[in-house]
Amino acid sequence: MRVGVIGPQHPDSFADNICDSLDQMGIDNVRLGPAQVRPRNAKFAAAFDVARRSVAFDERLQARVARRALHYECTVVVTVEGGTSPAVITELRRNGVPAALWFPDHITNLGRLQMLMAPYAALFFKEPSLVERLTATLGLPVSYLPEACNPHWHRSDESQGVDPVVVVAGGMYPSRLLLLERLIAADVPLAIYGGIFPRWVSDHPAMQHHTGRYIARQQKADVFRRAAAVLNNLHPGEVDGVNCRLFEATGSGAVVLAEHRSEVDNLFEADELLTWSDFDELVHLARTAVAASGTLAEVGDKAALRAHADHSYANRLTVILEHLHS
Count of structural domains, the chain: 2
Taking the alpha carbons of 321, 58, 197, 240 in that order, is the dihedral positive or negative?
negative
Percent of the chain with pLDDT over 90: 88
CA distances from 15 to 141, 213, 269, 294 (A): 22, 22, 28, 33
Q: Do 73 and 109 have their domain in common?
A: yes
What would the mean pLDDT of 304-312 be, rounded to a whole number? Answer: 98
Radius of gyration of the chain (CA): 20
Q: Do 222 and 103 have their domain in common?
A: no
- 196 vs 314 pLDDT, higher one: 314
* Residue 158 forms part of a structural domain: no
Q: Do 121 and 91 have their domain in common?
A: yes
* Residue 131 forms part of a structural domain: yes
Under a CB-based contact definition with an 8 Å cutoff, are residues 168 and 190 in contact?
yes
Q: Do 190 and 144 have their domain in common?
A: no
Q: Directed axis angle between helix 174-185 and helix 279-292, to 10°?
A: 60
Q: Do 77 and 180 have their domain in common?
A: no
* Residue 157 forms part of a structural domain: no
* Residue 153 forms part of a structural domain: no
- Supply the pLDDT for residue 159: 97
Q: Do 169 and 306 have their domain in common?
A: yes
* Residue 155 forms part of a structural domain: no
Q: Do 36 and 143 have their domain in common?
A: yes
Give the model's confidence band at 40: pLDDT under 50 very low, under 70 low, under 90 confident, else very high: low
* Residue 41 forms part of a structural domain: yes
Q: Do 289 and 167 have their domain in common?
A: yes
Q: Do 124 and 189 have their domain in common?
A: no
Give the model's confidence band at 48: pLDDT under 50 very low, under 70 low, under 90 confident, else very high: low
Task: Tell me which residue range forms the domain holding 274.
Answer: 163-310
Q: Do 249 and 318 have their domain in common?
A: no
* Residue 154 forms part of a structural domain: no
Q: Do 26 and 8 have their domain in common?
A: yes
Q: HSE-up of 1 (CA within 13 Å, CB side)?
A: 16
Q: Directed axis angle between helix 313-324 and helix 14-24, to 10°?
A: 80
* Residue 109 forms part of a structural domain: yes
Q: Which tens digit of pLDDT belongs to each residue from 1-35? A: 999 999 999 999 999 999 999 999 999 999 999 99
Q: Do 120 and 190 have their domain in common?
A: no
CATH number for position 81: 3.40.50.2000
Q: Which tens digit of pLDDT belongs to each residue from 92-108? A: 999 999 999 999 999 99
